Structure 1
Amino acid sequence: MKIDNINHYGDIMAIPFFAIAILYLYSIDYRNPIENILLFFCISGFILDIFFTFVFLKSRRR
């Protein structure tokens, strides 16, 4: 594992934590505006991390 790729491995490790945060924030019955913003950013981060992980793993294959 090169030190250059440490941010990619951090992205891979963040995916389950984004999923847990999404489940937690979604299960709240009466969310305030801050929680809605957090939910939006968690969903965005989850999707982007999956995309960046896919790109990283695809580039390593070559």
Structure 2
Amino acid sequence: MTRYIKNLSHYGDILAIPFFLLLSIYFYNIENKNLLEYILYIFCIVGFILDILYTYFFINKKY
């Protein structure tokens, strides 16, 4: 049980991947973006990439 609690943040990262993708698509489709929308769009892309990397490292981690 404690193993699942320790890995809860990793499971949250796995669930966040499709939502980062949807949010990135949303910001991509906005026409005439202002500065804040560009900043949020960049953060979405970075978060999407980092979540994929963290998930890859979590799945390939040796116990």
How high is the TM-score relative to the length of structure 1?
0.93
Equivalent residue, structure 2, for 1:7: 9
Return the structure number with greater helix share. Answer: 1
* Number of residue pairs the alignment of both structures matches: 61
Structure 1: tracts of 5 or more residues without a match: none
Alpha-carbon distance in 1 for matches of 2:4, 2:42? 32
Identical positions, percent = 49
- The amino acid of 2:16's aligned partner reads A
1:58 maps to which residue?
A: 60
1:29 is matched with which residue: 28, 31, 40?
31
Where structure 2 has 5 or more consecutive residues not aligned to the other structure, the ranges are: none
